[in-house]
Amino acid sequence: MTHSARRPLIAGNWKMHNSLAESVALARAVADVRIGPRTDVVVAPVFTALSAVAQALVGTPVGLAGQDLHWEPKGAFTGAISAPMLKDVGCSHVIIGHSERRQYFGETDESVRNKTLAALRSGLTPIVCVGETLAEREGGITFEVIGRQLDAVLNACESSEIAAMVIAYEPVWAIGTGRTAKSSDAQLAHAFLRDRARHKHAEAADRTRVLYGGSVKADNAAELLAQPDIDGALVGGASLDAETFGRIIRAAG
């Protein structure tokens, strides 16, 4: 399957930003963007805004994502939210293993695997994040790190699950820094990740979408999205402004 056969996905990770009213207003503005017929768009507000944003997006092509989940469906896990709860509030996607969760909240390869399986088996599309730190890149172990992070998930998945999941390559040094990976470097990492998936299930890996994240902006999106193994973007800061996010969406086609 070629690049153009995979539907691009543009995901806005709003992180810990926006009040309820601001979230709803931003969601409405994103829904007003002229979205190409072959492009998927999702936004990931804070948990407290999911319900209101879900209402605001009814009847629009914009999907809803959680920013994290717990792998158990329910139970004594104070502060956690499960896959069925995200489905219940209207989510179609969920971000898993973001580097901020790995760095600040003790997320491990094992918890990322458990969360990914829970999402898939509840019918949510997981957006599984992998990426190396600056020290790891400078130490020449980028592929070792992202290969290990991805294998932890792939080793537990069926081929249909590999085809259904979304992978996001987010080099940690490019997140929130304004320092984007060169499109050629990003392409190398994406091709490596797809190849890693191909080793598990050749056909499935052709269908897996691999997003790039890390300082994606309106003026660098088109070049990144033109790379053969970059199937979309996971956007942080630039997704908080509908006009800018709209330009990134349009860069996808």
Active-site annotation, residues? 98, 170
Stretch that binds ligand 13P, among 46-54, 81-89, 104-112, 213-221 (CB under 6 A): 213-221
Among 63, 171, 237, 246, binds ligand 13P (CB under 6 A): 237
What span, in angstroms and rounded, lies between the C-alpha atoms of 184 and 231? 14
Residue 240 DSSP class: G
Token reading at 148? 């290990």
Q: Cα 155 vs. chain centroid, distance in angstroms? A: 20
Binding mask 131-170 for ligand 13P (x = CB under 6 A): ---------------------------------------x
Q: Are 97 and 129 in contact (CB under 8 A)?
A: yes
Place of tokens 């499960």: 82
State the DSSP H helix or E strand holding residue 119, giving kind and residue range, or none if neither.
Answer: helix 109-121
Residue 234 binding ligand 13P, by CB under 6 A? yes
Token reading at 208? 């897996």
Residue 229 binding ligand 13P, by CB under 6 A? no
What span, in angstroms and rounded, lies between the C-alpha atoms of 236 and 253? 20
Stretch that binds ligand 13P, among 29-37, 51-59, 212-220, 243-251 (CB under 6 A): 212-220
Contacts of residue 172, defined as CB under 8 A and 6 or more positions apart, other chains included, come to 99, 103, 131, 132, 133, 134, 214
Residue 246 binding ligand 13P, by CB under 6 A? no
Q: Which is nearer to ligand 13P, 204 or 238 (CB)?
A: 238
Q: How many residues touch ligand 13P (CB under 6 A)?
A: 14
Residue 194 binding ligand 13P, by CB under 6 A? no
Residue 213 binding ligand 13P, by CB under 6 A? yes
Burial class of residue 53, CB neighbours in 10 A (0-12, 13-18, 19+): buried
Q: How far apart are the first and last CA of the chain?
A: 18
Shortest gap between Cβ of 158 and ligand 13P (angstroms)? 26
Token reading at 63? 């999907």
Among 93, 98, 102, 194, binds ligand 13P (CB under 6 A): 98
Stretch that binds ligand 13P, among 45-53, 84-92, 157-165, 209-217 (CB under 6 A): 209-217
Residue 171 binding ligand 13P, by CB under 6 A? no
Token reading at 226? 């033109």
Q: Which is nearer to ligand 13P, 186 or 204 (CB)?
A: 186
Stretch that binds ligand 13P, among 16-24, 71-79, 104-112, 211-219 (CB under 6 A): 211-219
Q: Which is nearer to ligand 13P, 53 or 95 (CB)?
A: 95
Radius of gyration, CA atoms only, the chain: 17
Residue 39 binding ligand 13P, by CB under 6 A? no
The neighbouring-strand residues paired with 66 are 94
Binding site for ligand 13P (CB under 6 A): 13, 98, 170, 175-176, 213-216, 234-238
